[in-house]
């Protein structure tokens, strides 16, 4: 275990992140739909105007992807992929390695052999929170790079790479800005890691114990897809708010569009309704499903390859 768990998790995470990056980009684009109306709330309320705004237009995942390709080309689907690589290297490597360590350590004190579900969840919560804190700058850069195409040409940030994005944010907005939305990132990561890793292990143990399937590719695909669905349901509301807080543009001398996560959530619900917190849910499932499948299938194969090391 130890370092080996970090290496295995890191390799699997980078491969999964890169292969599903276009789906993640479409998800971010959908989560930001209607944000213009939300930003108009302050001026609407301050002018004592009627507190109703036009309903924002909504595009589905396919229409969002097609529109993006038409406007910016196929390469736009991989906008911000360098940030994804860095994010997975920092965030996922940390969470996967720590989860492996916690699971192994706590299993040693469990006479039943398999780790109880509650301990799996606790391991996921702790590992996810630490991983998110480590990877927040890359996560922030990824969101902004993915969302840049939605802005008018004059307002785009035009980061050249993830390194350029982090350097520019630190210079223009201060080093602390690299952890903007970190509370949301940590909460989301805790939910994703606890639901994704714990449910994968739990589903796999149940299938093997009941003899439904053998320990092979079929079991890995089935359990990982189920884990991806659980993770998507648990994390989508926090993910929407995180995306909007991270993407907000703060002008010098002006009040930020959102004063915090709660303010963002309340404004989003007021303008777009409660279901706006599940905006981008279809692409989230479409992304979480394949991502989790690729992640765990690759992880199982990497473990076999590195078994003797």
Cβ-Cβ contacts under 8 Å for 233 (sequence gap 6 or more): 195
Asked if residues 53 and 40 have their Cβ atoms less than 8 Å apart, the reply is yes
Ranges 57-71, 75-89, 166-180, 220-234: which has the least confidence: 57-71
Task: Determine if residue 144 is left, alpha or beta; phi over 0 gives left, psi from -120 to 50 gives alpha, anything else beta.
Answer: alpha
What would the pLDDT profile of 230-283 be if each residue is shown by its tens digit?
A: 999 999 999 899 888 888 887 777 888 888 889 999 999 998 899 999 988 887
Q: Rounded to an integer, what distance in angstroms lies between the CA atom of residue 294 and that of residue 221?
A: 8
Asked if residues 244 and 264 have their Cβ atoms less than 8 Å apart, the reply is yes
Confidence tier at 216 by pLDDT (50, 70, 90): very high
Task: Find the mean pLDDT for residues 106-116.
Answer: 68
Ranges 31-40, 117-126, 221-230: which has the least confidence: 31-40
Predicted structure pTM score: 0.78
- Single out the residue of 78, 174, 173, 181 nearest to residue 132, CA to CA: 181
* pLDDT recorded at residue 119: 92
- Single out the residue of 165, 242, 230 nearest to residue 203, CA to CA: 230
Please name the helix (run of DSSP H) or strand (run of DSSP E) that holds residue 87, with its range, or none: helix 81-87
Say if residue 24 is exposed, middle or buried (CB neighbours under 10 Å; 0-12, 13-18, 19+): buried
What would the pLDDT profile of 25-64 be if each residue is shown by its tens digit?
A: 888 888 787 765 555 555 554 455 444 445 555 788 889 8
- Single out the residue of 306, 148, 297 nearest to residue 228, CA to CA: 297
Question: How many other C-beta atoms are found inside a 10 Å radius of the C-beta of residue 205?
Answer: 16
Backbone dihedral angles phi then psi of residue 249, each to the nearest 5 degrees: -100, 120
Asked if residues 215 and 208 have their Cβ atoms less than 8 Å apart, the reply is yes
* pLDDT recorded at residue 148: 86
* pLDDT recorded at residue 24: 87
* pLDDT recorded at residue 80: 84
SS3 annotation, 4-41: HHHHHHHHHHHHHHHHCHHHHHHHHHHHCCCHHHHHCH
In the chain, the N- to C-terminal Cα span, in Å, equals 10
Confidence tier at 284 by pLDDT (50, 70, 90): confident
* pLDDT recorded at residue 2: 72
* pLDDT recorded at residue 99: 95
């Amino acid at each position: 275990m130890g370092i080996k768990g970090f290496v295995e998790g890191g390799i699997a995470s980078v491969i999964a992140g890169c292969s599903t990056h276009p789906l993640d980009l479409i998800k971010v684009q959908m989560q930001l739909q209607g944000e213009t109306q939300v930003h108009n709330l302050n001026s609407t309320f301050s002018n004592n105007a009627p507190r109703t705004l036009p309903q924002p237009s909504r595009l589905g995942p396919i229409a969002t992807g097609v529109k993006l390709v038409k406007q910016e080309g196929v390469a736009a689907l991989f906008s911000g992929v360098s940030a994804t690589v860095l994010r997975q290297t920092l965030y996922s490597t940390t969470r996967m390695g720590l989860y492996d360590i916690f699971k192994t350590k706590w299993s040693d004190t469990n006479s039943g052999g398999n780790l109880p579900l509650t301990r799996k969840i606790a391991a996921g919560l702790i590992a996810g929170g630490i991983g998110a804190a480590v990877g927040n700058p890359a996560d922030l850069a990824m969101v902004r790079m993915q969302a840049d195409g939605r802005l008018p040409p004059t307002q785009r940030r035009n980061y050249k790479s993830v390194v350029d994005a982090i350097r520019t944010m630190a210079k223009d907005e201060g080093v602390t800005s690299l952890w903007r939305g970190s509370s949301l990132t940590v909460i989301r990561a805790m939910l994703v890691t606890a639901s994704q890793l714990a449910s994968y292990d739990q589903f796999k143990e149940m299938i093997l114990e009941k003899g439904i399937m053998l320990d092979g590719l079929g079991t890995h695909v089935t359990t990982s897809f189920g884990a991806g669905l659980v993770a998507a349901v648990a994390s989508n509301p926090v993910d929407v708010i995180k995306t909007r807080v991270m993407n907000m543009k703060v002008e010098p001398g002006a009040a930020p569009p959102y004063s915090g996560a709660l303010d963002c959530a309340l404004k989003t619900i007021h303008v777009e309704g409660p279901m706006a917190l599940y905006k981008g849910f279809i692409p989230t499932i479409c992304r979480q499903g394949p991502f989790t499948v690729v992640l765990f299938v690759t992880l199982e194969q990497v473990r076999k390859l590195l078994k003797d090391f």
